[in-house]
Structure 1
Amino acid sequence: LELTGNQSCSSDDEVFKYRAYTVTYLLVFPIGFLTNSGALFVLLRLTPKRSASTIVMTNLALSDTFFSLTLPLRLAYYFRGARWDLPDWLCRLCVFCFYLNLYTSVLFLTCLSVLRWLAVLKPLQHRALATPLRTSLTCLGIWLFVGGSSVPFLSWGTRIRAGQTRCFEPGKLDDWKKIFALSYVGLTFGFLVPFATILICYGFIIRRLTGLTGTLGGGNPLTSPESRTHNHVRRHRQRRALHLVAMVICTFLICFLPYHVARSLHLHAVVGRWGCVATKSLQRVLVVTLCLAAANSVMNPLLYYCAGESFRASILAFCQHLLNIQKNYLMKNNYFG
């Protein structure tokens, strides 16, 4: 929900809010939809090995693609001057999909960090635990958990305000109190616990990489060429693990942390009746942080490319295949004389 204060406190900020959302969704929709649908194509059609990380990335890209498809409905709402002319169930679905995407993204990113931690520190357990079947069941569990937890948001549909049918706006104070309770459930299980998990993973990986820096023997002249090659490959994989967890932490710090802090403070202001000045100020902060949260669907494809070696290799192989087709076509038709 696009959380705002009561009508008297929020009316002056509606222009800022709607402009911010319109600009954000105009950017996020085409970029997010194209990059995530492209990522799905690469992960499902071009990546030969169905590893645990690939399965998690596929589910993450699927979540971002679904969310991107709801953005045109939100844009239509803002272009009409905050008037909802579509069926009520679509309004409810848009609200539901926002939270479904937000918290499935958080948990899938956490899964990637845990998988990388297992691969670096416990490779034998990683092979035994991170099977495609177990990973698929874990992803299914995440979908069911987040979907079930987000069902209460389906109860908030359209409402009439100022003679217009509105969406994304809670009505009575009782609605705000319900959102207040749900917010802390999301804050605890959808942000604090996952964020603590990835920080722990990050700490252990850093410790392992630091400890291995002087022990891999890369500069020892007595080390055999085979050992140096093995150590080089091992260091490369561990650096890639570090890059993945670092990118996940950046996503949390940019997209998720500001939104959860601003949302919690704003809900306290509304339910606790802190006054219009505080509510309006926090509302503006919340609008900006919600835009950052929505932008996480644009950042995730960068993670696939930078941290997913098989993903990157599949893209490069596909591009090379297209170049070969074009070259053969040009040669066949004597375009080179």
Structure 2
Amino acid sequence: MAIPNDLSVFNSTSSPYLTTGISNVSFAPCTDWTPISMTTVIPTVYSIICVLGTTANILAVSVLAQANTSRRTVANTFMLNLCVSDLLFLLSLPLWAVYYSRGYSWPFGRVACKICGLLLHFNLYASIFFITSMSIDRYLAIVHPFRSQSARNPKRARLTCVLVWALAFVCSAPTLALRDTRYIMNFSVEACVILYPTHTWYMSLVLMKIILAFLLPLIIISCCYYAIGRHLVAGTWPIRMQNSSPSSSMPSFKSTESHQSSCKPERPPTPCVNPSSSSDRPMQGRGVERVLWTVAAVVLAFFFCWFPFHCVTFMDVLTSEGWLDGCWVTWTIHNLTPLTLCLGFSNSAINPMLYCFIGNHFRGRLSGFCKGLCACLKSRGDDHNQKRSSFSTRLSSFSRKLSDLKDLAIVEPTGPS
């Protein structure tokens, strides 16, 4: 593996992701552009993301893993795997925080450098692949509930998860092979970097990351949720018109997926009407708006978390090809790469909030889980208090008996002389 001689564009320590290692362009010193100090900002942000993301994902995994096999849906299967992937990544964040706080000096050794680099890239691909799978599943469940019945089952969902894990590992395997620790003499640090053998390797892997980990999933997710939003609006608009008419009655509509048996098979697009049920309400007004806002939040969170990072990555590609030049380009790549990575990493903390905690069903199960946990802790505390009180009772009883024995020894009469 060739060690680069030109490190004028030092992306190899400014980011655990962007690591050119080979620079075709030499820049003049940009004295007017003051660099941003990352030794305090990045560790602080990483620590916040690690604490919040770990807490949210552990709660989500605890609730999802306790579901019975018969109750584990396709969406729950994808969500459980997504939370596990995010947790694996979040465990490596404290090491990267130390890396930045030490001025890009890696103190944990070569093996930890490779593993942490693998986890970063693995989560980059796996989380986005799982989000894409969940988006496709929601599209099939809402837009094509009848035709997708045979395809949407937990067994196939588990098989899809296995394929996602395998594909994410294949995409991140080059990082495991190329990442290593190198002593950078110009900066006097032992850095955890990726050193690409040739410029072709760099271009291929970076373009693969942009296309497979951002552009293609974004197109699929946007198309799925656009179709979902269009289907919901088209399906609820006639209901709104009926409810707005003074002569029309107020029928009650249930979801198409939950009342498959009451629907006529020859007219699957028609919603099922159950006038006798008074407990359900038509999906209208705030209900439709809430679903649409949730759908929009998923797409926007994915876009705003990862779009800035991939923009900076693409700028680095253009710079390496000589198509961009200047001090502002150098400053942007060096300083905004770690900051945009922080924004991308925050998606791991946002995912469980979007997919789990917004839903009423999940919040009810989380509330039950927390109540059960509190009851368990309370019962253990009561048992401990009972054991302490029982021990105190026995100790006081023993003390009284010992005192009585002493009194008897004192007043015991002596025998005749």
Query: Which residue is equivalent to 2:55?
Result: 34
99-108 or 216-225: bigger deviation = 216-225
Deviation at 1:330, TM superposition (A): 11
Deviation at 1:141, TM superposition (A): 0.7
Higher RCO, 1 or 2 (CA under 8 Å, sep at least 6)?
1
Query: Which residue is equivalent to 1:166?
Result: 191
CA distance in 1, matches of 2:210, 2:280: 41
Conservation of the 8 A alpha-carbon contact between 2:221 and 2:299: yes
Root-mean-square deviation (Å): 3.3
Query: Which residue is equivalent to 1:73?
Result: 95
Deviation at 1:25, TM superposition (A): 0.9
Conservation of the 8 A alpha-carbon contact between 2:60 and 2:352: yes
Q: Is 1:261 equivalent to 2:308 in the alignment?
A: no
CA distance in 1, matches of 2:381, 2:113: 51
What SS class does the counterpart of residue 158 from structure 1 fall into? strand
| Amino acid corresponding to residue 315 of structure 1 in structure 2 | L
Any unmatched runs of 5+ in structure 2?
1-15, 253-273, 386-417
| Amino acid corresponding to residue 249 of structure 2 in structure 1 | L
Normalising to structure 2: TM-score of the pair?
0.70
Match of 2:126 among 79, 104, 118: 104
Relative to structure 1, the CA distance from residue 323 to residue 26 in structure 2 (aligned partners, 3 Å threshold; closer, same or farther) is closer
Match of 1:299 among 350, 353, 375: 350
Which has a greater percent of helix? 1
Query: Which residue is equivalent to 2:232?
Result: 209
Q: Which is higher, the Rg of structure 1 or of structure 2?
A: 2
Relative to structure 1, the CA distance from residue 308 to residue 178 in structure 2 (aligned partners, 3 Å threshold; closer, same or farther) is farther
Normalising to structure 1: TM-score of the pair?
0.85
CA distance in 1, matches of 2:86, 2:333: 27
Query: Which residue is equivalent to 1:126?
Result: 148
39-48 or 202-211: bigger deviation = 39-48
CA distance in 1, matches of 2:352, 2:30: 35
Query: Which residue is equivalent to 1:184?
Result: 207
CA distance in 2, matches of 1:166, 1:153: 15
Deviation at 1:319, TM superposition (A): 3.4
What SS class does the counterpart of residue 180 from structure 2 fall into? coil
What SS class does the counterpart of residue 309 from structure 2 fall into? helix
What SS class does the counterpart of residue 3 from structure 1 fall into? coil
Q: Percent identity?
A: 27
| Amino acid corresponding to residue 232 of structure 1 in structure 2 | R
Query: Which residue is equivalent to 2:111?
Result: 89
Match of 2:362 among 288, 311, 314: 311
Deviation at 1:127, TM superposition (A): 2.6
Deviation at 1:238, TM superposition (A): 6.1
CA distance in 2, matches of 1:114, 1:262: 29
Deviation at 1:282, TM superposition (A): 2.9
Conservation of the 8 A alpha-carbon contact between 2:19 and 2:195: no
55-64 or 216-225: bigger deviation = 216-225
CA distance in 2, matches of 1:239, 1:47: 31
Number of equivalenced pairs: 331
Conservation of the 8 A alpha-carbon contact between 1:35 and 1:298: yes
CA distance in 2, matches of 1:147, 1:103: 8
Conservation of the 8 A alpha-carbon contact between 2:38 and 2:100: no
Conservation of the 8 A alpha-carbon contact between 1:103 and 1:146: yes
| Amino acid corresponding to residue 355 of structure 2 in structure 1 | Y
